[in-house]
Homo-oligomer: A and B are copies of this chain.
Amino acid sequence: MDLSTLSNHGTICQMARAPVKRRLERPPLLTTIKPDRADGRRRVVIESVTPEIDAGQFAAKRTVGERVTVEADVFADGHDALACVLRWRHESSQLWSDVPMVPVVNDRWRGEFMVSELGRYFYTIQGWVDAFETWSRQFAKRVEAGHDITLELEVAARMIEAAAPRADGSDSNRLMAYAAAIRKGPSSASSALAGDLPQLMERYADKSFAVTYARELQVTVDPELASFSSWYELFPRSAGDPAQHGTFRDVEKRLPGLAEMGFNVLYLPPIHPIGRTHRKGANNSTKAGPDEPGSPWAIGSEEGGHKSINPRLGTMEDFQHLLGAADKQGMQVALDIAFQCSPDHPYTREHPEWFKHRPDGTIQYAENPPKKYEDIFPFDFETEHWRELWDELLSIVLFWIDHGVTIFRVDNPHTKPFPFWEWLIGEVKREHPDVILLAEAFTRPKVMYRLAKVGFTQSYTYFAWRNTASELVQYFTELSQPPIREYFRPNLWPNTPDILTEYLQTGGRPAFAARLILAATLGASYGIYGPAFELCEARARESGSEEYLDSEKYQIRKWDYNSPDSLRELITLVNKVRIENPALHSDRGLRFHPTENDQLIAYTKTTPDLADVVLTVVNVDPHHTQAGMVTLPLEDLGIRRDRGFQAHELLSGARYLWNGPRNYVEINPHSIPAQIFRFRRRLRSEHDFEYFL
């Protein structure tokens, strides 16, 4: 890229950093350790490790403070005892920490470690045949059978003596003393075994034939917001007074209200200058009037491109002031990354080589024949100059990071190559592990999963189009399965500026309320295209379309936030429930339950320690009252079967005494179409809860 050319444009901010090092080779995401076959005496087998995504090609995802539970099949020939450790380290350290793994069932072993730092962790597994433990088990049986054990004691004494040189000074001496004691005979041997001899022998085990799993696996650790976030999307240009083009300053005025409602991410569509050529008018008209603002996704004009700000919204200072104001309210601002250009973008003149050209020399516009999108030029990722293109696109993300943005909603990532994203996200997160990228891909499932694998922190989902109880159960069961749940973090949106579903169009306020509660309780992360959702905007551009009438994508809208239709109170309440219940901060504890009514969906989320158990029941029929019997697996939820327990309904405040696994629920969608229960109880010990009234 020619920086001198770029700097001719005052509004294109100069790259604020040293030239980015391009790494075309994949960063060391796949470290294959060659299995050590030089010694045929390494008898342990380690296989079927979880989590492991595509043979270790991709990292699992966690957030700070979470645990990584690792399992593997570990076994050897014969019947010898084994020992097994989980080895882990943060990328900043070369030193492995070893955690003992314990056998679960059927040769499966389990261990875990906690991730407390951002960035990448590595883990693998090591196992070895534990000769001393094998001896100990056999010894007990021999004694019981009354065998002569003289020789066996000598076998053990020799093993202990062999361990001594591996031990530290004092431990070494104690081992030698144990060896002598063992030789004295059965009773002295028994007291050695009852003492800390087994622990010492475990600590100084003979690992000469230990086997290390063939791969080092990885987990990417993101900030907590990556797994628990509540997004609110608004168009800044609609934030101003009537008949005015809104600005960042206007957006600031909305911040206290958004924070009060309980949102922690404010997402803004692109804030860059908007193209003039083929600008779209109201309702996607191909002709725009002179005052029409155009689509924010038609990025770039004489006023600049992806590193510039639309002057009608304000200046860079105004933008950064907004970031600061949001931060004071406990909110982060998410920017839109849309790698495409309007015909007026400076790139089209300075870097025509980044675009595909038609035989007549013009740049190829976006199209999906027979549809044409002449206001948009896609980049040509098959250009010979792809290296420079990649560098420039990365520099856009780094530019905004340098200006204080850490959350990005990435527009249509599925139309850019996967290797590009893998490289870009790797580069970004290497120095900025706190950055969150939400993939806006609504496309075929495997494409969406792949984008999550190559590094996107969160992903949009099909949630908007899953409206029946059975569709929701099926889809969220799929997302909860390993390995998908290890890398795909759903962010649930009941609407977006592109998506006004038929369910919302026809279901009225109960439909909006039901979708809100589903999104906010099924998903640890969810979002709404705020003004339209809050105010139950349900008018489609035309019948059969999911486009909004008078869509904000093409025009400024004034919203009456004081309308009696506003869902503001319910949203506030639901977000409060989310914040107060740790079970809703993660998607890992999701489980569905039968309701005996197709229109009622019921599911629990739980914290791993069962300290918080939340049951949500939603009536997905926006028209009629529905009732059913919800059947809960009480024991799995830590609830005793032999006494009543309190179900505290958090939206109404009502408290019910429930008894046994089957309980009656009746929901009128015209009041609130859902009930969210927290089961109240007194903790006696970690695994023995008592539910109180």
Contacts and interface: CB of A to CB of B under 8 A. Distances in A.
Given A41-B381, A381-B43, A423-B40, A359 B155 contact: yes
B445 A106 contact: yes
A418 interface: yes
A154 B26 CA distance: 38
A358 B151 CA distance: 7
A560 to B, nearest CB: 40
A446 B358 contact: no
A424 to B, nearest CB: 10
B32 A26 contact: no
A191 B396 CA distance: 47
B358 A155 contact: yes
B76 A417 contact: yes
A444 B107 contact: yes
> How extensive is the interface on chain A, given as a class?
35 or more
Given A54-B47, A446-B107, A419 B75 contact: no
Contact of A418 (B26, B45, B57, B419): B45
B419 A43 contact: yes
Contacts of A75: 444, 446-447, 450
B41 A417 contact: yes
A290 interface: no
Contact of A142 (B24, B142, B360, B370): B370
A502 interface: no
Nearest to A141: B369
Contact of A77 (B47, B76, B416): B416
A287 interface: no
Contacts of A450: 45, 47, 75
A42 interface: yes
A69 to B, nearest CB: 19
A444 B41 contact: no
Given A151-B360, A445-B106, A37 B55 contact: no
Most chain B CB atoms below 10 A, which of A55, A368, A444: A55
Interface string A415-438: 111111001000000000000000
Given A40-B423, A151-B360, A381-B41, A414 B145 contact: no
Contact of A154 (B79, B142, B359, B381): B359
Given A77-B417, A358-B151, A444-B107, A24 B37 contact: yes
A653 interface: no
Contacts of A142: 369-370
A487 B416 CA distance: 39
Interface in A602-645: none
A382 B414 contact: no
Most chain B CB atoms below 10 A, which of A37, A155, A209, A358: A37
Interface in A125-176: 138, 141-142, 144-145, 147, 151, 154-155, 158
A399 interface: no
A419 B40 contact: yes
Interface in A69-97: 73, 75-79
A2 interface: no
A25 interface: yes
Most chain B CB atoms below 10 A, which of A54, A359, A360, A386: A359
Contact of A387 (B40, B369, B444, B447): B40
Contacts of A417: 40-41, 43, 76-77
Contacts of A73: 446
A544 B367 CA distance: 77
Contacts of A151: 358-360
A367 B144 CA distance: 15
A38 interface: yes
A390 interface: yes
Given A155-B358, A359-B155, A79 B368 contact: yes
Contact of A369 (B138, B367, B386, B419): B138
A256 to B, nearest CB: 41
Interface in A358-409: 358-360, 367-370, 381-382, 386-387, 390
A10 interface: no
Contacts of A24: 37-38, 40
A414 B107 contact: no
Contacts of A28: none
A307 B369 CA distance: 75
A35 interface: yes
Given A26-B35, A41-B417, A55-B55, 11 more contacts: A24-B37, A24-B38, A45-B418, A75-B444, A77-B414, A78-B414, A106-B445, A106-B446, A145-B370, A151-B359, A155-B359
27 contacts: A25-B38, A32-B32, A40-B386, A40-B387, A40-B419, A40-B423, A41-B382, A41-B386, A41-B417, A43-B419, A55-B55, A57-B214, A75-B447, A75-B450, A76-B418, A77-B414, A77-B415, A78-B414, A79-B368, A107-B444, A141-B369, A142-B370, A145-B369, A147-B370, A151-B358, A151-B359, A154-B359
